[in-house]
Amino acid sequence: MAKGPFQNKIFLWLISAAGIMFFFSFLLVPLYNVFCEVTGLNGKIYGPSDFLKKETEVKEREVNIKFLSIVSGSAPVVFYPSTQNLTVITDNPKGTTYIAENKSNKRITVRIVPSVSPGLAADSVKKIQCFCLDGDIVLEPYEKQEWQLRFFIDSDLRKNVNDVYLSYTLFEKDREEIMVMKHEH
Amino acid sequence: MSAVVENHDHHDHHGPQKGIWRWFTTTNHKDIGTLYLWFSFLAFLVGGAFAMGIRAELFEPGLQLMDPIRYNQLVTMHGLIMIFGGVMPAFVGLANWLIPMQIGAPDMALPRMNNLSFWLLPTAFAILMSTAFMEGGMPGFGWTFYAPLSTNYPNVAFFVFAVHIMGISSIMGSINVIVTIMNMRAPGMNLMKMPLFVWSWLITAYLLIAVMPVLAGAVTMLLMDAYFGTSFFDAAGGGDPVLFQHIFWFFGHPEVYIMILPAFGITSHIISTFSRKPLFGHSSMVYAMVSIAVLSFVVWAHHMFTVGMPLAAELFFMWATMLIAIPTGVKVFNWCATIFKGSITYETPMLFAIAFVVLFTIGGFSGLMLAITPADFQYHDTYFVVAHFHYVLVPGSVFSIMAAVYYWLPKWTGNMYDEKLGKLHFWLSFIGVNVTFFPQHFVGLAGMPRRYADYSLQFAEWNAVSSVGAFLFGLSQLLFLYIVLRTIFVGKKATSQVWEGADGLEWTVDSPAPYHSFETPPKING
């Protein structure tokens, strides 16, 4: 007898398999984030660290830190580190700043996404205070802000790593049109 | 299940409907196979025209014919059309024609769905091509559509919906293939007795069902990022662009094997026929294809060695990738062993099949080089990669499709093709392909990057050579069209056996194959 496809077991199996794989592709998103967080891969920073001097026999050593800044897309913001290089001693906190200046007459909301290179050093970069952990930051028209960064490099940093790059990318989230008269000229 | 065509006709052997309407309403597997094959040939010509546009621009350094944006659009559309419009529909067309005849079934299991899955394809490509007439133009972000480049591109929604529709079409086609193979084999044909083309398609269909939905998921996320304010891949909102690459290549690598496994099946039939020997190692061929398919799910990140993965992951993906060389080696060994001491004749299908084995193996070897993680840091995104995947796709998949057309064309049309013209077509294609793609290995190793409309002067000579080869290869496909048309209209009559060494159920029916074959299932002995 002729049966419709929906009475066919294999057909139903295959249709559901396709459906399951579609949802699986969305499941990959949280799986990926959990995987990165658990393994500490991918150069991601997941939150502020407390500064606690550990009693360890590890020798302190010098590490070169290089600061990078990137403005994503066409945000009308100038964004740069106040120092480009810093030599730090492991386990000793250091501070520096980044400067951001809104070049437009609009109120701009930005968000900063950090990245550490090499990725395997990300675990050893401990941020005590970082503008990248503050979420959204609002820049008023033509406003210039100085943002604080305090961190230390844990002495468990891999032996073969002597240079660590801290990169910050500025993303524009929102641009608000507000009327501002500029009288300087 | 064979009762599907009986509802409106009382004759036992009714022919096709008259007129053009036949092609829109047909549920006959042979008609739908023909539609698929002509569609893919059209896509092959359009994608080929785009490729010639690319090679014309690259004939000499500097920007001659188009601006870089137009160039990127040509590259993107060339890839999309060739993969989703050329190679995949061609294999589905062959599956439609051959699977029922090779397993002794009267038709595909789900004939109306079969009609729908074909007609979705022209719809999808109409949507995709319509962007050519819009402001912002065709997609230009590469066939891999890496986010967030693609999310910021104009007309990306058209691309997304086109991919959705193509995906639905492929999934329906695959379900049809699996249901047909599982339910409609002739009595006595157990799984291990199935012809290898049927086996290769059974495995391919499972791969398609597993990964086409992942592609659909990826483009859906892309659409949501672009228009609905989500941030799957946008770092500004907490997303991750590298995640896109993981999801894409989780689809993308099995996709690569989707485009080569049916070619393995075709080659096995042809080499056995023209060596006049049964295929060496039938069951090892099956196991090799199954292992290739399983491994294809755990190698995806070899496309992403340079994104900054940890060492452990790079090593895992390197070794997993190299592991694929073993089942592939088994297959190449079996083909060679089949040829060994055979009574070989070199008709056109055999020439294409031998060229397939040799040139696909070259592509496989450059694939092994790319699998070596430290070496890949040099090769990544250079023309070496372009040379590699064109070697496995053009003289790989495309040659196998041409071989299949020459091999089964007498069965489809009832007429023999012109052997002299066929051989001429083979040699022009063979020379054209190698002149086009072999020099790309050299410029790639010398550091020429992919996806640029311009290049530095030291690459000029080999690029000129490559362009000449591309035009030779491209234009000789018009000869292919002429040969096929000539066969249909003025070819000599073919016997039902067609080839002296041919073996299989499809050679037991008349040439041309009657509109309805195997209405009573054949008996498989042994």
pLDDT value of position B363: 96
Judge whether residue B414 has pLDDT over 80: yes
- Coil, strand or helix at B277: coil
Q: CA B170, B78, B201: angle at the middle one, nearest 5? A: 30
Percent of chain B with pLDDT over 90: 88
β B415-416/A163-177 pair status? unpaired
Would you say residue B168 lies in a domain?
yes
pLDDT in tens, B27-65: 999 999 999 999 999 999 999 999 999 999 999 999 999
pLDDT band at B4 (very low <50, low <70, confident <90, very high): very low
Question: Is A14 in contact with B209 (Cβ distance < 8 A)?
Answer: yes
Would you say residue B66 lies in a domain?
yes
Would you say residue B519 lies in a domain?
no
Percent of chain B with pLDDT over 70: 97
Judge whether residue B316 has pLDDT over 90: yes
> Quick check: is B425 catalytic?
no
- Active-site option among B269, B302, B390, B411: B302
pLDDT value of position A45: 60
CATH number (domain holding residue B113)? 1.20.210.10
pLDDT in tens, B82-127: 999 999 999 999 999 999 999 999 999 999 999 999 999 999 999 9
Q: What is the mean pLDDT of residues B467-471?
A: 97
Question: Is B237 in contact with A173 (Cβ distance < 8 A)?
Answer: yes
> Quick check: is B328 catalytic?
yes
Q: What is the mean pLDDT of residues A81-96?
A: 90
CA distance A33 to A31: 6
Task: Give B415's strand partners.
Answer: B493
Q: Say how many C-beta atoms besides its own lie within 10 A of residue A162's C-beta.
A: 11
pLDDT band at B523 (very low <50, low <70, confident <90, very high): confident
**CB–CB of B430/B350 below 8 Å?**
no
Identify all chain B residues contacting A14, using CB atoms and an 8 Å cutoff.
Answer: 174-175, 178-179, 209
Question: Is B178 in contact with A72 (Cβ distance < 8 A)?
Answer: no
Instruction: Report the chain B residue with the minimal C-alpha distance to residue A10.
Output: B179
Judge whether residue A180 has pLDDT over 80: no
DSSP code of residue B398: I
pLDDT value of position B106: 94
- Active-site option among B328, B348, B382, B517: B328
Interface of B with A (CB under 8 A): 1, 3-4, 109-110, 113, 152, 171, 174-175, 178-179, 182-183, 209-214, 216-218, 221, 232, 234-237, 240, 242-243, 246-247, 250-251, 308-311, 313
DSSP code of residue A60: P
- Residue position matching structure tokens 């309407």: B21
What's the Rg (C-alpha) of chain A? 24
The better pLDDT of the pair A60, A70 is held by A70
The region of weakest confidence among A34-48, A167-181, B339-353, B507-521 is A34-48
pLDDT value of position B271: 97
pLDDT in tens, A2-24: 566 677 888 899 999 999 999 99
Tell me which residue in B232, B236, B309 faces A173 most closely, judged by beta carbons.
B236
Q: What is the mean pLDDT of residues B300-306?
A: 94
How many structural domains comprise chain B?
A: 1
Instruction: Report the chain B residue with the minimal C-alpha distance to residue A39.
Output: B310
The burial of A17, by beta-carbon neighbours within 10 Å (0-12 exposed, 13-18 middle, 19 or more buried), is given as: middle
What is the ipTM for the molecules in this complex?
0.79
**CB–CB of B414/B356 below 8 Å?**
no
Question: Is A5 in contact with B179 (Cβ distance < 8 A)?
Answer: yes
DSSP B294-341: HHGGG-GGGG-GGGT--HHHHHHHHHHHHHTHHHHHHHHHHHHHHHTT
CA distance A5 to B405: 31
- Coil, strand or helix at A139: strand
Would you say residue B11 lies in a domain?
no
pLDDT in tens, B150-171: 998 889 999 999 999 999 999 9
Distance linking the first and last C-alpha atoms of chain A: 89
Q: What is the mean pLDDT of residues A158-177?
A: 85
The burial of B385, by beta-carbon neighbours within 10 Å (0-12 exposed, 13-18 middle, 19 or more buried), is given as: buried
Q: What is the mean pLDDT of residues A133-147?
A: 89
Task: Please give, rounded to a whole number of angstroms, the shortest distance from the CA of B371 to a CA of chain A.
Answer: 21
Would you say residue B26 lies in a domain?
no
The region of weakest confidence among A85-89, B243-247, B318-322, B395-399 is A85-89
DSSP code of residue A106: E
pLDDT value of position B111: 94
Would you say residue B119 lies in a domain?
yes
Identify the CA nearest to B29 among candidates B122, B109, B123.
B109
pLDDT value of position A44: 62
**CB–CB of B515/B501 below 8 Å?**
no
Task: Give A165's strand partners.
Answer: A66, A117
Cβ-based neighbours of A69, under 8 Å, separated by 6 or more: A79, A80, A81, A98, A167, A168, A169, A170
CA distances from B44 to B123, B169, B288, B482 (A): 17, 19, 29, 15
Q: pTM for this structure?
A: 0.86
Would you say residue B39 lies in a domain?
yes
pLDDT band at B255 (very low <50, low <70, confident <90, very high): very high
CA distance A71 to A74: 8
CA distance B398 to B199: 19
The residue type found at A63 is V
Identify all chain B residues contacting A17, using CB atoms and an 8 Å cutoff.
Answer: 209-210
Q: In what order do the strands lie in the sheet with A77-81?
A: A77-81, A94-102, A144-153, A125-130
Q: What is the mean pLDDT of residues A44-60?
A: 59
Would you say residue B8 lies in a domain?
no
The burial of B208, by beta-carbon neighbours within 10 Å (0-12 exposed, 13-18 middle, 19 or more buried), is given as: buried
Instruction: Report the chain A residue with the minimal C-alpha distance to residue B313.
Output: A41
Question: Is B236 in contact with A2 (Cβ distance < 8 A)?
Answer: no
pLDDT value of position B406: 97
pLDDT value of position B3: 41
Judge whether residue B147 has pLDDT over 90: no
Interface with chain A: mutation pick from B5, B151, B182, B244, highest number of A CBs within 10 Å = B182
Q: What is the mean pLDDT of chain B?
A: 93
Cβ-based neighbours of B13, under 8 Å, separated by 6 or more: B514, B515, B516
pLDDT in tens, B356-402: 999 999 999 999 999 999 999 999 999 999 999 999 999 999 999 99
Question: Is A32 in contact with B3 (Cβ distance < 8 A)?
Answer: no
The residue type found at B385 is V
CA distance B482 to B318: 45
Q: Say how many C-beta atoms besides its own lie within 10 A of residue A70's C-beta.
A: 13
pLDDT value of position B26: 93
CA distances from B87 to B163, B391, B393, B477, B508 (A): 15, 14, 9, 15, 28
Q: What is the mean pLDDT of chain A?
A: 82
Q: What is the mean pLDDT of residues A144-155?
A: 90
CB pairs under 8 A between A and B: 105
Judge whether residue A78 has pLDDT over 50: yes
DSSP code of residue B448: P
The region of weakest confidence among B304-308, B449-453, B461-465, B486-490 is B304-308
Judge whether residue A100 has pLDDT over 60: yes
> Containing domain of residue B116, as a range?
31-508
> Quick check: is B303 catalytic?
yes
